[in-house]
Amino acid sequence: MDTTLLFIQTLNGIQLGLLLFLVASGLTLVFGILDFVNLAHGSLYMIGAFVAASLTFVTGNFLIAMILALPVTAAVGYVIERTIIRSLYERDHLDQVLGTFGLILVIDTLAHLIWGPEGIAVPLPDWLNGQVELFTGVVVPTYRLLIIATGLAVAAGLFWLVNYTRLGMLIRAGASNRTMVSALGIDIQMLFALVFALGAVLAGLAGMLVAPITEAAIGMGGDIIITAFVVIIIGGIGSMKGAFIAALIVGLIDTLGRSFLDDLFKLVMSTEAAESSAPAVSAMLVYILMALVLAFKPSGLFPPKVR
Amino acid sequence: MNKTFSAALAATLIAGLSGTAFAQTKEVKIGYVTTLTTGGAAIGKPMETAVNLAVEHMGGKMGDFDIKVIFGDDGFKPETGKQVTDKLVKQDNVDFVAGYIWSNVLLASRKSVLDAGKFLISSNAGPSPVAGKLCNENFFSTSWQNDQNPMAMGEVLNQRGVKSLYVMSPNYAAGKNMVTGLERTFKGEILGKDFTKWPGQLDFSAELAKAKASGAEAIFVFYPGKAGGAFVQQYQQAGLKGVMDLYTVFTIDAVSLPRFQKANFEGVLGSFQTMFWSPDMDNEQNKRFVASYKEKTGQYPPHYAAQAYDTMYLIKSAVEASGGDLKNMDAMRAAMKSASFPSVRGEFTYGNNNMPIQNFYLREVVKDDDGDWTTKIVSTVFEKHQDPYAAECPLK
Amino acid sequence: MGTLRKKGTLTIVVMAALAILPPILLWSGQAFYLDLATRLVILAIAAVSLNLILGYGGMASFGHAAFIGIGAYAVGIPVYHNTYGEFEIIASYSGLFQIALAVGISALFALITGMICLRTKGVYFIMITMAFAQMVFYLFVSLDIYGGDDGLVIDIRSELPLVNLDSPLQLYLLAYGSLVVAMLIVRTITRSQFGMVLQGAKGNNERVVTLGYNTYAYRLTAYVISGAMAGYAGALLGNFTTFISPEMMGWTRSGELMFMVILGGAATTIGPVLGSLVFIVIEEVFSSFTIYWHLPFGIMLIIIVLYVRGGLVGLITGGKKKRGK
């Protein structure tokens, strides 16, 4: 096997994994602390992409647009929490799944009405549009490196936030014992709204980062939400560390599967059959992994200690 | 407290009764199935516009008949497509069913229309079975068979002396046909092929890395609709321009060019593709169509719109030949088979399988006089080209 | 209509309406509405089967559409091979064989996946059932011979003794009869000792375990029965649409089934049927007005989840059943 290609594909896998982590981290925060299943998390990802795309044409610069779009997605998340989500906290997970499923339909259709069905292509500044030669023969798009850098920075930031700040302390306390946090006199409603908005920002950021690659498009949230769920289930609901590791594993499996599975299949079946079955089987691998993990560890790889 | 229940029942009944009110005037009913929701609507919308434009140009009449078009949304899914087709046939009792962007939707729906003894006209999809073994005397196409455009592209690649190629295409009926078509004519070596998940996958990092590592001279892709934009963007970001030349079919067109222009992706200017039609074709029907379409939307029509526009004129030719009786299938069939309607592509004929026998051209992406991005015909690749499945069709 | 306050009366009214209305619609020239009713009744069978585990057993399966898909392909694949050759062993037009295959494979799939899924709880259960459904989804996507993503057209419907499935009315009556039987099965199960244990385990598993019941085995049995019933519904659905594709088992389809059960009223006899009825009718009505029908539909979904507890059955009969955590 070509080691250069293997290296590049590993990098691609890590990049995909970090994007997944951004989506999954918000999901696991909301899930772990608020005990809330948010299927509509993917819609926030789509909103981030569309808002950043629109702002790119207003400001003329993608990076400035991103910085402006972050508070916008936070605000959208905050409003959704105040109006709809809040009433669902006390319901069982099933009601939450159904309610947020309805929310997906509403947000997707609204996006269609506002931005049209075509989607928006997002231009990058020239310095991001090029490639970097890491070492001889390994040339990667600059923008993909930016995604990796952003993903790692956010991961470090979240690690700091959860482990070393007062908010983080509350978050950890809230995840394991909600009544105690309220007993301490903390405005739990405000804390919940903040956490939800933070989750929205993380999802929105992922959407913004992906927009210059895939364009902002209707329905993009539905494609990623299920994978993000798989990530947090594998990692253990509420565990940031689990989400990070699981996201990287899933990203690598998906990318390496797409890269090398067809060659592997050609050893045992016809070229034609291998070409068409490999993509589906590589998509299946992720779910097989999840089932395996749950079969042996029914609460995921890193379940939070007290639930 | 049983209002919800009664309301539901009432809704069923009302919906049932409203269907019974039949038309007072003579009317030709056309069911038009396309994609009006999801990202696929980027293609469906221009088709809808073109159909309405055709009705407008016909003054709302085909012969003595008032035109009534009922649009159905396939939601980008074969199953939904079949459901709306069933409804058009059984509930609306339309005289013609037309449209269909996606090969898989057409394959799922064709039986419902043809078994009911109605005409089915594809405005886009051309999967191999409907041209070959599953051909039907009541099925007509105003587009092409899937293999044909990539066949023309393979010929272009030969002419340009391309020796090695990497191929990428979505993993569905049309995607496979496109690759088969290319392989029919391309004489060089195909160093690698990737069929990607459809329509979900839009990130092609892994595949582009493989393509680059293969060392092929050029890359051939088929990514219709929004996937095309995503692909072109990543092709540029990967720095493949100038390293591996890009040859496409149904990927860079008037659906995606306005978006590219807005984002100023100059890389697509000067790229080549093959097609049976182009907005710059010089005939009366086309000039009128392109001018009105631009007036209406401010954009050039994509070929999807051109095919939809032709579909309506094909139906018109049938209705006018019916002698006022839309049950006169034989007369209408003969009229359509003669392809005597004014087509935006100029003159063409129908083969035994009711697929067009037509020219295929090489198109280049250029700026027009106003600075808008469009396509222009460079040369003719195939003259009067017939699809390779016609021989498998038992029709005469 | 104060009489509807009794659930039994409601059941009879709804079932009677389903028995009488569709044939009348057919005879008045509304063939399409018979189609709508057929799809409704078939999905209702699947919803009834889901209700057994979700409503009575507290097992929220988010992968129930997989069984429907398996059942449909159990019709499509034998027909395909009987028409185009290969795999002589399963090639057949016989409906009895196909239905046996649909039920058998669904049950087997439920047994194998259930053994793993039932080790998990809560959201993990929701997600692992979804994961297995996605595996089946991608399995069929990868099977090029059966059309992969593009799906498979069923050229010839199942050949059954006494019924001709090519007749829309006979197909409807078969589906309707099957629905009645499915409802009776679930009703009998839930009123038996088996059902008591199942419902007890939903409320307080530890207590039922202490009483000496192996609740895992009880729940697994219910899961297998439910999967087999949904597989049967899939066989009917394949015969009805004559087109099958992996799309039938996508996660949104499983979500819709869950919605039908909750909408109508979980853990009631008529709830899932009422839920499917309202779901299908509203989908049909909304989508005929606007292509943006997902918007009112989504809003309606949210409102129902927020304000209608105990589903439509609760609303109609005035029940105050609450579903807490």
The ipTM value here is 0.89
Q: Could C255 and A98 be called an inter-chain contact, meaning their C-beta atoms sit closer than 8 Å?
A: yes
Q: Which percentage of chain B shows pLDDT scores above 70?
A: 94
Q: Is residue B12 part of a domain?
A: no
**Structural domains of chain A, with CATH:** 14-296 (1.10.3470)
Spell out which residues of chain A touch residue B194, defining contact as CB-CB under 8 Å.
258, 262, 275, 279
User: What are chain B's partners, defined as 3 or more CB pairs within 8 angstroms?
Assistant: A, C
Same domain, residue pair B331 and B288? yes
Per-residue pLDDT, C80 = 94
Strands B349-350 and B61-62: what pairing?
A: unpaired
Same domain, residue pair B240 and B172? yes
Spell out which residues of chain C touch residue A94, defining contact as CB-CB under 8 Å.
54, 60, 126, 258, 262
Q: Is C296 on the interface with B (CB under 8 A)?
A: no
Q: Is residue B11 part of a domain?
A: no
Closest-CA distance, A243 to chain C, in angstroms, reads 15
B275, B305, B323 - which closes a domain? B275
Same domain, residue pair B95 and B189? no
Tens digits of per-residue pLDDT, A84-110?
A: 999 998 888 888 988 999 999 999 999
Q: Is residue B288 part of a domain?
A: yes
Question: Looking at residues A265-293, what average pLDDT do you find?
Answer: 84
Spell out which residues of chain B touch residue C134, defining contact as CB-CB under 8 Å.
none
Same domain, residue pair B135 and B211? no
Which of C53, C305, C323 to probe by mutation at the A interface, max A CB count within 10 Å?
C305
Same domain, residue pair B56 and B137? yes
User: What are chain C's partners, defined as 3 or more CB pairs within 8 angstroms?
Assistant: A, B
Q: Is C286 on the interface with A (CB under 8 A)?
A: no
Per-residue pLDDT, A183 = 72
> Rounded CA gap, A81 and A212, in Å?
28
Provide the pLDDT confidence category of residue B21 given band limits of 50, 70 and 90: very low
Residue A20 to residues A28, A197, A210, A224, A290: CA-CA distances in angstroms?
Answer: 12, 18, 11, 8, 15
Q: Is residue B389 part of a domain?
A: no
Q: Could C278 and B16 be called an inter-chain contact, meaning their C-beta atoms sit closer than 8 Å?
A: no
> Rounded CA gap, B17 and C28, in Å?
9
Q: Is B73 on the interface with C (CB under 8 A)?
A: yes
Closest-CA distance, C128 to chain A, in angstroms, reads 6
Q: Is C130 on the interface with A (CB under 8 A)?
A: yes
Q: Is B76 on the interface with C (CB under 8 A)?
A: no
Of A109, A277, A281, the CB nearest to C295: A109
Which of C291, C297, C304, C313 to probe by mutation at the B interface, max B CB count within 10 Å?
C291
Per-residue pLDDT, C319 = 55
pLDDT tens by residue, chain C, 325 residues: 445 567 889 999 999 999 999 999 888 888 889 999 999 999 999 999 999 999 999 999 999 999 999 999 999 999 999 998 888 888 999 999 999 999 999 999 999 999 999 999 888 899 899 999 999 999 998 888 898 888 899 989 999 999 999 999 999 999 999 999 999 999 999 999 999 999 999 888 888 888 889 999 999 999 999 999 999 999 999 999 999 999 899 888 999 999 999 989 999 999 999 999 999 999 889 988 888 999 999 998 899 888 887 888 888 887 544 444 3
User: How many folded domains does chain B comprise?
Assistant: 2
Q: Is C16 on the interface with A (CB under 8 A)?
A: no
Helix axes C215-241, C193-203, angle to 10 degrees: 100
| Closest-CA residue of chain A to C300 | A102
Token digits of residue C109: 């799939």
Per-residue pLDDT, A301 = 94
Tens digits of per-residue pLDDT, A12-65?
A: 999 999 999 999 999 999 988 888 999 999 999 999 999 999 999 999 999 999
Per-residue pLDDT, B6 = 52
Closest-CA distance, A92 to chain C, in angstroms, reads 5
Q: Could B11 and C281 be called an inter-chain contact, meaning their C-beta atoms sit closer than 8 Å?
A: yes
Per-residue pLDDT, A305 = 64
Same domain, residue pair B47 and B87? yes
Same domain, residue pair B134 and B170? no
Spell out which residues of chain B touch residue A9, defining contact as CB-CB under 8 Å.
206, 209
Of B2, B15, B87, the CB nearest to C1: B2
Provide the pLDDT confidence category of residue A176 given band limits of 50, 70 and 90: low
Q: Could C150 and B111 be called an inter-chain contact, meaning their C-beta atoms sit closer than 8 Å?
A: no
Tens digits of per-residue pLDDT, B195-212?
A: 888 777 889 999 999 999
CATH class, range C2-317: mainly alpha
Least confident stretch, A38-52, A204-218, B124-138, C297-311: C297-311
Same domain, residue pair B302 and B232? no
Q: Which of residues 51-70 of C touch A (CB under 8 A)?
A: 54, 60, 62
Contacts of C288 (CB under 8 A, 6+ apart): B15
Q: Is residue B57 part of a domain?
A: yes
Question: Looking at residues B89-103, what average pLDDT do you find?
Answer: 95
Can you give the CATH number for the domain in which B110 is found?
3.40.50.2300
Provide the pLDDT confidence category of residue A263 given band limits of 50, 70 and 90: confident
Instruction: List the domain boundaries for chain C.
Output: 2-317
Spell out which residues of chain B touch residue C40, defining contact as CB-CB under 8 Å.
none
Least confident stretch, A245-254, B45-54, C2-11, C159-168: C2-11
Same domain, residue pair B128 and B204? no
Closest-CA distance, C160 to chain A, in angstroms, reads 34
Q: Is residue B61 part of a domain?
A: yes
Kindly report the average pLDDT of chain A as a whole number: 89
Q: Is B90 on the interface with C (CB under 8 A)?
A: yes
- pLDDT over 90 (residue B342): yes
| Closest-CA residue of chain B to A141 | B238
Same domain, residue pair B160 and B113? no
- pLDDT over 90 (residue A188): no
Q: Is residue B396 part of a domain?
A: no
For residues C236 and B174, the model is more confident at C236
Spell out which residues of chain A touch residue B257, defining contact as CB-CB under 8 Å.
none
Per-residue pLDDT, A203 = 97
Same domain, residue pair B81 and B138? yes
Which of B3, B5, B115 to probe by mutation at the C interface, max C CB count within 10 Å?
B5
Q: Could A121 and B263 be called an inter-chain contact, meaning their C-beta atoms sit closer than 8 Å?
A: yes
Question: Looking at residues B140-162, what average pLDDT do you find?
Answer: 96
Closest-CA distance, C249 to chain B, in angstroms, reads 12
Per-residue pLDDT, B22 = 46
Spell out which residues of chain A touch residue C297, defining contact as CB-CB under 8 Å.
102, 105
Q: Could C153 and B78 be called an inter-chain contact, meaning their C-beta atoms sit closer than 8 Å?
A: no
Residue A286 to residues A250, B96, B235, C128: CA-CA distances in angstroms?
Answer: 6, 45, 27, 12
| Closest-CA residue of chain C to A38 | C123
Per-residue pLDDT, C157 = 94
Question: Looking at residues B76-88, what average pLDDT do you find?
Answer: 92
Same domain, residue pair B30 and B138? yes
Per-residue pLDDT, A2 = 78
Provide the pLDDT confidence category of residue B55 given band limits of 50, 70 and 90: very high
Q: Is C296 on the interface with A (CB under 8 A)?
A: no
CA angle B139/B77/B231 to nearest 5° reads 100
Closest-CA distance, B339 to chain C, in angstroms, reads 30
Residue B241, domain extent: 148-275
> Rounded CA gap, B39 and B46, in Å?
13
